Amino acid sequence: DGGITQSPKYLFRKEGQNVTLSCEQNLNHDAMYWYRQDPGQGLRLIYYSQIVNDFQKGDIAEGYSVSREKKESFPLTVTSAQKNPTAFYLCASTGRVSGANVLTFGAGSRLTVL
Amino acid sequence: AQSVAQPEDQVNVAEGNPLTVKCTYSVSGNPYLFWYVQYPNRGLQFLLKYITGDNLVKGSYGFEAEFNKSQTSFHLKKPSALVSDSALYFCAVRDQTGANNLFFGTGTRLTVIP
């Protein structure tokens, strides 16, 4: 089935370590996104990429990095510079539905810093 | 700048009763509005969207939303609530700068009481 696969589902990290969250899609979507979800704050955009080898910062990019070497893949690295990384991370991609883009989301990755 | 507001953190409704989840928006031009639903520890799922045309938009699982330009609102509705409708609901507006990003509200937790 077509969709977005995020891994790992749960991840624990010690302070000072970098971690990378995987996001893979087989929907042939051009654009991909990373959101962070915290209780009571909704979703906030970290980074997005509209085409391969290109990406832009979202509203809360500090302490994060991404790459887009392949259309199918958009990994997110949470660096040690991110002061409060414990959160639920959602990857999404955009397809075209009746003239307006609709986001398809992965199941998410929950990162906990110990 | 565009934004959406969901004034209620929590909505409780009895099974079989009609439900409404409120959303108001702020944009400088014509809005592209969306509703998404999130079940526990899952990604978001698209419910419906308003781009143009009829003010009453029908979506998945029997949900509908009414676009009201004068009140800048896009409330989500369902005539008869099910216990399985209990979830977190997000309203979103599309970025009008051309980046196709979505700005999400803070979410409303709907609980349907048997």
Q: How confident is the model at residue B97 (pLDDT cuts 50, 70, 90)?
A: confident
Smallest CA–CA distance from A39 into chain B, residue = B106
Residue B36 touches chain A, beta carbons under 8 Å: yes
Question: Of the candidates A4, A42, A90, which has its C-beta nearest B105's C-beta?
Answer: A42
Residue B52 touches chain A, beta carbons under 8 Å: no
Position B42 scores a pLDDT of 84
Chain A: give the shortest CA distance to residue B45, in Å: 7
In this model, does residue B36 exceed pLDDT 60? yes
Contacts of A92 in chain B (CB under 8 A): 43-44
In this model, does residue A108 exceed pLDDT 80? yes
Position B24 scores a pLDDT of 97
Chain A: give the shortest CA distance to residue B28, in Å: 18
Q: Do A108 and B34 touch (CB under 8 A)?
A: no
Position B99 scores a pLDDT of 66
Position A5 scores a pLDDT of 96
Q: Which of B19, B29, B27 shows the shortest CA–CA distance to B75?
A: B19
Mean pLDDT of A21-40: 93
Q: Do A94 and B9 touch (CB under 8 A)?
A: no
Say how many CA atoms lie within 13 Å of A55 toward its Cβ.
25
Position A38 scores a pLDDT of 93
Position A97 scores a pLDDT of 59
Position B43 scores a pLDDT of 87
Mean pLDDT of B89-111: 88
Say how many CA atoms lie within 13 Å of B25 toward its Cβ.
30
Question: Of the candidates A45, A100, A106, which has its C-beta nearest B32's C-beta?
Answer: A100
Three-class secondary structure assignment of chain B: CCEEECCCCEEEEECCCCEEECCEEECCCCCCEEEEEECCCCCEEEEEEECCCCCEEECHHHCEEEEECCCCEEEEEECCCCHHHCEEEEEEEECCCCCCCEEECCCEEEEEEC
Question: Of the candidates B42, B101, B102, which has its C-beta nearest A107's C-beta?
Answer: B42
Q: Scan for tokens 């986001």, then name that residue.
A: A103
* % chain A with pLDDT above 90: 70
The string of pLDDT tens digits covering residues A53-92 is 999 999 999 999 999 999 999 999 999 888 899 999 999 9
Q: Which two tokens stand for residue A111?
A: 């990162």
Smallest CA–CA distance from B10 into chain A, residue = A40
Position B51 scores a pLDDT of 87
Mean pLDDT of B49-61: 91
The string of pLDDT tens digits covering residues B8-19 is 999 999 999 999
**A76-85, B47-56, B67-76, B93-102: lowest mean pLDDT where?**
B93-102
Mean pLDDT of A22-26: 97
Position A99 scores a pLDDT of 53
Q: How confident is the model at residue A96 (pLDDT cuts 50, 70, 90)?
A: low
